[in-house]
Amino acid sequence: MTSNERLALVRAGLSARHRREKRFRFYGIAAIVLALGFVAMLFAMILSRGLPAFTQATFSLDVHFDPAIVKVDKKPVRSSEQSPAEYAKEISAWERKVTMVNWNKVIEAAVRNAAPETTANSREILSIVETNARFELRDMFVADPALLGKTVPVRMLASANADNWLKGNIDRSLPDAQQQLRDPARALADQLMAEGKIRNAFAWHIFTNVDSRSAPASAGLAGAFVGSLYMILVVIVLAVPIGVMSAVYLEEFAPKNRFTDLIEVNINNLAAVPSIVFGLLGAAVFINYFRLPLSAPLAGGLVLTLMTLPTVIIATRSALRAVPPSLRQAALGLGASKTQTVFHHVLPVTYPGILTATIIGVAQALGETAPLLLIGMNAFVAQVPATPLDQSSALPVQIFLWQGNENRNFFEARTSAAIIVLLGLMLTLNAIAIFLRSKLEKRA
Amino acid sequence: MNTAIIATLLLVLLGLAYQTGWSRSRRLAPAGETKLHSRPVYHGALAAIWTLVPALLIFALWALFGETASRAYLLAQLPPDVLALGSAELESTLRRIRQIESGFGVVGDALPWENQAAQALREFSTLTYAAVIAAAAGTGALALWLANRRISLRLRARNEVERVVSAAMITCSVVAILTTAGIVASLLFEALRFFSFVSPIDFFFGTVWNPGFSTTGQGAAGEYGLLPLLWGTLMVASIAILVALPIGLMTAIYLTQYASQRTRSTVKPVIEILAGIPTIVYGFFALVTVGPFLAGVGDTLGIDIRATSALTAGIVMGIMIIPFISSLSDDIIRQVPRAMRDGSLGLGATQSETIKRVILPAALPGIVGAFLLAVSRAIGETMIVVLAAGNSPFLRLNPGEPVSTVTVTIVNQLTGDTDFASPQSLVAFALGLTLFIMTLILNVAALYIVRRYREQYE
């Protein structure tokens, strides 16, 4: 074969090869577009579903504390000869009486006052007001008994069903039998909305209230948020020092022998152990053996600590590895001991790296759900935990609980809202990390 | 309150010890005259360690045995007829007395002997509390005095502190081993208890999963066949890999070989966002978006696809794993020596030919490692399958049908259940053990391959 013939052969195949090249390139672009498309779809779905849940149908009504309905005596005043205990008894008796008042009647009167011509009966009227509104009125009255006989503007949440109807989360063309609200109630809600007596107000209670089953519209994330916060605190307090110390030991001090090899393999393997296995460990050891309380953020935090430890160790080690050996040699050469070299000169250089490792670990811990289910953190808890030993939920677990709620129309949006809060928290953490990192790096 | 007092005490001890150690060593060697072996900082630190460790030990002992002691004391206070009660009633009596002691009321009026016992218990608690605090403070002070006496010009305080630090570091490193040991021990122990109810052969080779309910009190009634769950796990994981591997690998190839630096630095972090999203979010995404979408597609094509199925869970899990595969492969491809690539291009191969015939074969071991890690990830993933796989433990071939997996079943069998005696909840540990061993083999193999691969090009 002459060189000319060879050249012709190559030329003949050239266009096909270039086509193949183009196709391959196209596959690459397609893969990236798909991956980016998934990111976009995920966020579009969550934002489009979740953002509406941050506003909620809210009544602004003039509530009249009608003495004919609120039939209670004056709030007792402590007399001089009364002991504190007697006074407390009297007050609680009075509060019990206030609770016995038919506050629903007060609410109904306020709604009727806002829409005098409504045909809805009292049940239908109350079906569009959130069930805990009566407790709010009671609390208002207990705090200020002078309200008796007065008319004051009050904001009350609409019920979940009314919120669904007004936002169009439920198909408005469905026949009566399939609607959650009766026809007069729906008409009343529409009318009040049109007149501005119901408005879509920002739902602050998502951040300030705890979870609620009886009053779903007022359910909030406060308990889960504090629970997650406690767990993160436990993780930071335990995983960071232990992780950094162990990384420093393995990277700077450990002799190369079978024992350290074992630790090394161990850590790498632990990083890839499924999170649910850590949950099993927590259930068997922390709950069953050490008898830590079920659903407590402390137990959850410990499980998450063990889970994030490998992440922190691996990231810290790679930060330590990146420190130039000249730094160590210089310190050793000036007579510093090995420990002094590491803790005074090597470790400070890695602070940005350790910080990033911490944030990655904490973000991972913050979003973890499966192990928490096994140590009972999916229990329904309607209070903000006061200490890490109290029962509590956590943000991702709250998401899990809400997505399983029977009132799908309402809780699908609520779940997405909770996801937005969780993702927002993670984003904030990462932003803080980036900010601190750039500051630390500038100093170094 | 208690914690605050203890914390304050410890802080005071710490500050005091450090300060005395520091200033005493300083006084021994005024600047510029004689020389201390260690700098005052180390003398201070050593004194602080000496002081704090005994105090902490006392508190630890109290935390461990205080409860037992107060219980024993309380039992000694009770009248004999109460002590003769059954253990359940005795427990409830003890709880009652503790409630009276803590100042909360109890249901009904407290009996005189109950009040007496509560009063005695209150005195005992106060007394032991004071004693423990005094003991901790006393030993702390004593240890501080001893530590102070040791301070001299030649005391090697730095070496001693460094020894303590290095012991602390070794302890921290051992935590990782303890975790693994804890996992293995707890899984094995509980799984063995499960196997005392159900024979391992029935478990590992059974084809029916129907555990029944623990409340019926029928013991091991029910069938615990692992195979349907394993099948579901493998099906979901394979679908996930089928989605993630091509997309992840092609992304890595494009970003390392074709993309400009600018594209790379914008696209890579965006894709890595996917890795940071909690799995519960993926589960919700699968449940409300992907599932109904696939069911709709199935409708138009005339295939029966359920909204919650192996397909739904698998596809979404695949999306979750994309960044995992792409960033691992990215690292691996970039480790292939540039000379190999340049050589191939120099001989006239096109870029895609270079990638397919030179770079990928060279990177293959590493990519296999990444693949194995991804499989291990997919097998162990929980929340996506809990929400989107439909939880139906049957051996079915059709991916459009709901399935159940090992992880889902662990959650179902153990959630909210603290009764560790029934096979219905113990089976979770046998499943966990299976899962742990499967992922362990995959991880170790992958880590080994990746390590060998790294060494090859270093």
Each residue's pLDDT tens digit, A1-37:
788 888 888 888 888 999 999 999 999 999 999 999 9
Other Cβ atoms within 10 Å of A188 Cβ, number: 26
Cβ pair B214, B417 in contact under 8 A: yes
Task: Report pLDDT for A334.
Answer: 93
Task: Report pLDDT for B122.
Answer: 83
Residue of B nearest to A283 (CA): B418
Q: Please, which pLDDT band fits residue B380 given cuts at 50, 70 and 90? A: very high
Q: How far is CA A55 from the centre of its chain?
A: 18
Q: Please, which pLDDT band fits residue B406 given cuts at 50, 70 and 90? A: very high
User: What DSSP letter does each residue of A141-182 carry, written as one string?
Assistant: HHH-GGGTT-EEEEEEEBPHHHHHHHHT-S-TTS-GGG-SS-
Burial (Cβ within 10 Å: 0-12, 13-18, ≥19) of residue A279:
buried
When scoring A281, A399, A428 by the number of chain B Cβ atoms within 10 A, the one with the most, hence best to mutate, is: A281
Q: How far is CA A214 from the centre of its chain?
A: 21
User: Averaged over B427-433, what is the pLDDT?
Assistant: 91
Nearest CA to A246 out of B208, B175, B83 is that of: B175
Between strands B209-210 and B223-224, the pairing is antiparallel
Cβ within 8 Å of A, B 359-418: 373, 376-377, 379-383, 386-387, 407, 410-411, 414-416, 418
CA dihedral B442, B448, B451, B452 (to 10 degrees): -130
Four-residue CA torsion sign, B407, B286, B377, A268 = negative
For chain A, give the percent of residues with pLDDT over 70.
99
Average pLDDT of chain B?
85
Q: Please, which pLDDT band fits residue A204 given cuts at 50, 70 and 90? A: confident
Four-residue CA torsion sign, A80, A86, A90, A95 = positive
Between strands A151-157 and A55-64, the pairing is antiparallel
Whether the predicted pLDDT of B188 surpasses 80: yes
Residues of A in contact with B276 (CB under 8 A): 363, 367, 426, 430
**Ranges of CATH 1.10.3720.10 domains, chain B:** 209-456
Other Cβ atoms within 10 Å of B253 Cβ, number: 26
Q: Which of A28, A374, A415 is closest, CB to CB, to B250?
A: A28
E-state strands within B181-280: 209-210, 223-224
CB pairs under 8 A between A and B: 255
Q: Which of B288, B351, B429 is closest, CB to CB, to A280?
A: B429
Please judge whether B176 and A426 are an interchain contact, meaning their C-beta atoms are less than 8 angstroms apart.
no
Please judge whether B353 and A272 are an interchain contact, meaning their C-beta atoms are less than 8 angstroms apart.
no
Partner A contacted by B42 (CB < 8 A): no
Q: Please, which pLDDT band fits residue B285 given cuts at 50, 70 and 90? A: very high
Residues 6 or more apart whose Cβ sits within 8 Å of residue B131: none
Task: Report pLDDT for A398.
Answer: 92
Task: Report pLDDT for B342.
Answer: 93
Give helix B310-335 / helix B291-301 axis angle, nearest 10°. Answer: 110
Please judge whether B382 and A396 are an interchain contact, meaning their C-beta atoms are less than 8 angstroms apart.
no
Whether the predicted pLDDT of A82 surpasses 50: yes
Q: Please, which pLDDT band fits residue B1 given cuts at 50, 70 and 90? A: very low
Q: Which CATH architecture has domain B209-456?
A: Orthogonal Bundle (1.10)
CA dihedral B204, B210, B211, B216 (to 10 degrees): -150
Cβ pair A308, B175 in contact under 8 A: no
Task: Report pLDDT for A390.
Answer: 83
Average pLDDT of chain A?
87
Whether the predicted pLDDT of B455 surpasses 80: no
Q: Strand pairing partners for A193?
A: none
Residue of A nearest to B438 (CA): A273
Indicate the length of chain A as a whole number.
444
Whether the predicted pLDDT of B104 surpasses 70: no
- Cα–Cα dist B369/B396, whole Å: 30
Task: Report pLDDT for A5.
Answer: 86
Cβ pair B389, B290 in contact under 8 A: no
pLDDT in tens, B359-376: 999 998 889 999 999 999
Cβ pair B236, B378 in contact under 8 A: yes
Amino acid at A364: Q
Whether the predicted pLDDT of B251 surpasses 60: yes
Task: Report pLDDT for B230.
Answer: 92
Among A65-69, A417-421, B45-49, B53-57, which range has the highest average pLDDT? Answer: A417-421
Other Cβ atoms within 10 Å of B118 Cβ, number: 22
Cβ pair A308, A273 in contact under 8 A: no
- Residue A431 or B217, more confident: A431
Residues of A in contact with B383 (CB under 8 A): 369-370, 400
pLDDT in tens, A417-442: 999 999 999 988 888 888 887 787 76
pLDDT in tens, A221-253: 988 999 999 999 999 999 999 999 999 999 888
Residues of A in contact with B439 (CB under 8 A): 272-274, 277
Whether the predicted pLDDT of A198 surpasses 80: yes
Angstroms from B351 CA to nearest CA on chain A: 7
Task: Report pLDDT for A45.
Answer: 92
- Cα–Cα dist B422/B212, whole Å: 11
User: Averaged over A76-90, what is the pLDDT?
Assistant: 79
User: Averaged over B299-316, what is the pLDDT?
Assistant: 89
Longest dimension (CA), chain B: 101
b/e string for B141-175 if b means 16 or more Cβ within 10 A? eebbeebbeebeeebebbebbbeebbeebbebbbb
